[in-house]
Amino acid sequence: MLRALFLATLAGVANAADPESGFAVLPVSGSVSLLQSDDCNVAVSAGSEGVVLVDTCVAESADKLLAAVRRHSDKPLRFVIDTHAHADHTGGNAALQKLAPVIAHESVRTRLAEGNKVTGDQPRAPEALPIITFDHELTLHLNGDVIRLVKLPPAHTDGDIVVFFQKAKVVCVGDVFMPPAASFGDRHYGGGMSQLIEAVEILLPQIPADARVVPGHGAVSARADVAAGLAVLKQMKAVVESAVRDGKTVDQLIAERPFDKWRGSVPPWMSSDKGLDGWVRRFYREISPPAPSN
């Protein structure tokens, strides 16, 4: 159901997309454009020295993604970057790594190699694993730009990186920010709601005031949108903290519909009553004290 809602919100994108590739090509700034489909955003920096991709979308779209890249530029693919381990951002790794190395944080390679029993994600084949990994920061110099890959503390996942195209003033944030305002922390991949807040607090001052922010899904945004998302997350957390102090159970809190006022601040595919209940549960799980053991 959530996927159907998400696809419906991006119907306009699909209609504008290249019918052969399924990806719409949207200029962003400088050398950077956005390849946008139903499933994902893929940033592409193209210049005389080659092409850099940020994320590889789902496995089923790999051939179409590559076709869209080739229509966009006749220069060779030089590097591919994974912003985090989720399959809708790394699914095309194996296909694209035949042409260029995939770069990611060390934990992304580990998570892809091991799979995830809780979520049902199977271990990836060796050719899908990033062959270049780093810990804190890595810099690429290509097409007259400085491309900084910066590791965040655990946020949406424990492998989130942000990609800064410094000359173009484009910041690719993966799923740390989701338009229109707020993202979420995936505890099954090492993320968390409170951790996400802390990470965005670190990220926000690094985003130039006039930068274009490319999220993993949805519309190209501005620094102010990221700030608004951070404010929403902090307000959500404060509501749950107050409820926990008052001794309310999670079910009692959910019955009050405390997050309904932020329905327009979360991604449309997560804005149903059930979706908002999930946000309450995420915060409550982290904030409430653990039950005493017998």
pLDDT 10s digits, 90-146: 999 999 999 999 999 999 999 999 999 999 999 999 999 999 999 999 999 999 999
What value does the mean pLDDT of the chain take? 92
- pLDDT tens-place string over residues 226-271: 999 999 999 999 999 999 999 999 999 999 999 999 999 999 889 9
Cβ atoms of residues 149 and 161 within 8 Å: yes
Using CB atoms within 10 A of its CB, is residue 235 exposed (0-12), middle (13-18) or buried (19+)?
middle
Q: Which of 236, 225, 244, 248 is nearest to 277 (CA)?
A: 236
Give percent of the chain above pLDDT 90: 87
User: Hunting for tokens 């030089």 — which residue is that?
Assistant: 78
Q: What average pLDDT score do residues 139-158 get?
A: 97
Structural class in CATH, domain 2-226: alpha beta
Residue 18 confidence (pLDDT):
54
Residue 291 confidence (pLDDT):
62
Pairwise CA distance, residues 52 & 232, whole Å: 33
Q: What average pLDDT score do residues 178-200 get?
A: 96
User: Hunting for tokens 């966009």 — which residue is that?
Assistant: 72
Q: Is 51 a residue whose pLDDT tops 50? A: yes
What length is written for the chain? 294
pLDDT-based confidence at residue 294 (cuts at 50, 70, 90): low
Q: Which residues of the chain form CATH 3.60.15.10? A: 2-226
